[in-house]
Structure 1
Amino acid sequence: MSPLIALQGIAKGFGEGGARVQALSDITLNVAAGEVVGLRGPSGSGKSTLLNLVACILEPDAGVLRLAGETVWQGRWAKADLRALRRRTIGFIFQFHNLLPFLDATDNVALAMTLNNVPLTVARSRARALLDYLQVGKRADAMPAKLSGGEAQRVAIARALANQPHIILADEPTAALDSERAQVVMDLLRRVAREQAAAVLVVTHDDKIFSRFDRLVSLRDGRIEGEMRPG
């Protein structure tokens, strides 16, 4: 089976002339369905740049990017509507949950589906099912201000899953959580990867969750320095 995330020889730089900074060089990385891969490295190593390239937010300078078996970038963008691609293929989870404060948990999740033209009644029904799946269904009617940090992050994961994406991208998803809640969130991401056959790519500095990854990829100075299988 082809990997859901496939990068070959990816490079990215910023600036011009003498001020140009090479953020990434010759990045080759695959993430398969059901796999949870962590990206670690010091600040400035290129982790966030790499995540934004996979998210089709930044454009590579060189290489090939394939998502869910489709070539997305090879010398130029191969898809005309990148926003539609992101809504259909990618779910995003951030360090802070970024829930809309004026919507309850159910409608925060349902909104992602209505943006994909799913009828509201269908979207709300699926949102509640996702909240149940992530063991936070009892908080379906709660406003974000009433949720604990761990509950809010579970709602954010439900929102990321709303459109049944093949790929989950997470940027420091446990940094704002204590050790116990961080482990719960990572266990949920592992469950999602296995049961939803999704590829999960996580940027993290959080050494307390390293054991939860199938692979840890280390970046330094814009290059892959190595990788390991924890445990």
Structure 2
Amino acid sequence: MAESAHRSPLVRLDRISKHFGEGETRVDALRQVSLEVFPRQVVGLLGPSGSGKTTLLNVIGCILDPSSGSMELEGELVLRDGQWQRRNLRRLRLDKIGFIFQFHNLLPFLDATDNVALVPKLAGADMASARKRARELLDYLEIGNRKDAMPAKLSGGEAQRVAIARALANSPRIILADEPTAALDSKRAGIVMDLLRKLAIEHDAAIIAVTHDEKIFNRFDHMFELRDGMLESEALGSAE
């Protein structure tokens, strides 16, 4: 992936592999995957079920231990030869990464504001500051009028916006999305992708999304295809 020489990637993977089991039962979920994603890019990972897309996303998110390979996030070497370079991966995730899922996973007993405020609170902010940050993000995503609504009272699109606000709560520059629009209709899926594009540009962030959703393929700058754990080729050129 060509990029201006003066810009460094926010995500750099070097020969990431992941296998499960040993001997005859061994399954190679990822095989020597190398990838760079730069600021302001919205990148899609495409591939059939079982190809390794979610496994790759979980390695980038420092949730799953790879078998080998190295990784840099925001210029920091966080993985070297399959070994984590930080002891506290939970803190790393809070500091660097925002997560968006197919289903919003909002806590049903907290309103929209407190669902978002939970993340900065876990990072050490006091409740007043956390709630202030949450309200600012809900306003930014044009859903401030629903700040007091419980998840059961939100539409699918509204709930996904709250989930995006939660992902942004600690100002990460790396946002990982697993099928973020699969549960939405075409109109709402387009709105969500437009929001992700806005975030990438205005926050100088990198967005990496696993998707099967053909209605949003044209919203990505680049799409890469995984097959049998291997990153084979770029599926689409620039969307710009």
Provide TM-score, normalisation by structure 2.
0.95
Say which of 176, 184, 195 aligns to 1:169.
Answer: 176
Instruction: For 1:57 and 1:182, locate their aligned partners in 2 and report how far apart those are by CA, in whole Å.
Output: 26
1: CA distance between counterparts of 2:100 and 2:212?
Answer: 15
Q: Could you tell me how far apart the structure 2 residues matched to 1:100 and 1:175 are?
A: 20
Do residues 19 (structure 1) and 25 (structure 2) align? yes
Match of 1:229 in 2: 237
> What is aligned with 1:33?
39
- Rounded to whole Å, the distance in 2 between the matches of 1:223 and 1:54 is 15
Q: Give secondary structure in 2 for the equivalent of 1:157.
A: helix
Say which SS state the counterpart of residue 168 (structure 1) adopts.
strand
User: Partner of 1:29: helix, strand, or coil?
Assistant: strand
Runs of 5+ consecutive residues of structure 2 not aligned to the other structure: 1-6
Q: Which residue of 2 aligns with 1:219?
A: 226
Counterpart in 1 of 2:78?
Answer: 72
Distance 2:69 2:84 in 1: 12
Q: Is 1:146 paired with 2:159?
A: no
In structure 2, how many angstroms separate the alpha carbons of the residues matched to 1:111 and 1:149? 20
Are positions 1:128 and 2:148 aligned together? no
1:194-218 Cα offsets, whole Å, 9 max, x none, are 0011111000000100111000111
Q: Distance in 2 between matches of 1:120 and 1:222?
A: 43
Q: What's the offset of the Cα at 1:17?
A: 0.9
Distance 1:96 1:22 in 2: 28
2:48 matched to 1:47? Answer: no
SS of residue paired to 2:84:
coil
**Following TM superposition, where does structure 1 have runs of at least 4 consecutive aligned residues deviating by more than 2 angstroms?**
none
Unaligned runs of 5+ in 1: none
For 2:3, the equivalent position in structure 1 comes to: none
Helix, strand or coil at the partner of 1:118: coil
**Partner of residue 107, structure 1:** 114
Q: How far does the alpha carbon of each residue in 1:33-68 deviate from its partner, in whole angstroms, 9 at most, with x for none?
A: 111100000001110010000011111112111111
Provide the C-alpha distance between the structure 1 equivalents of 2:162 and 2:193, rounded to a whole number of angstroms. Answer: 14
Letter in 2 for 1:67: L
Name the SS of the counterpart of 1:114 in structure 2: helix
How far apart in 2 are the matches of 1:127 and 1:48?
Answer: 28
* Structure 1 contact 210–230 (Cα < 8 Å) conserved: no
Q: What code does the residue aligned with 2:9 have?
A: P
The CA distance in 1 between the partners of 2:12 and 2:80, in whole Å, is 12
Q: CA deviation at 1:119?
A: 1.1
Q: Deviation of residue 230 (structure 1)? A: 4.9
2-structure distance, mates of 1:122, 1:56: 27
> What code does the residue aligned with 1:150 have?
G
> How much does 1:81 deviate?
0.3
Could you tell me which of 159, 164, 167 is aligned with 1:157? 164
Are 1:207 and 2:220 matched, yes or no?
no
- The number of residues matched between the two structures is 231
Matched, 1:91 2:98: yes
Deviation string 1:7-41 (CA, Å, 9 cap, x unpaired) is: 01111111111100111111110111111100000
Cα distance, 1:229 vs structure 2: 1.6
SS in 2 for 1:48: helix
What's the secondary structure of 2:180's corresponding residue? coil
Aligned-CA RMSD value: 0.8
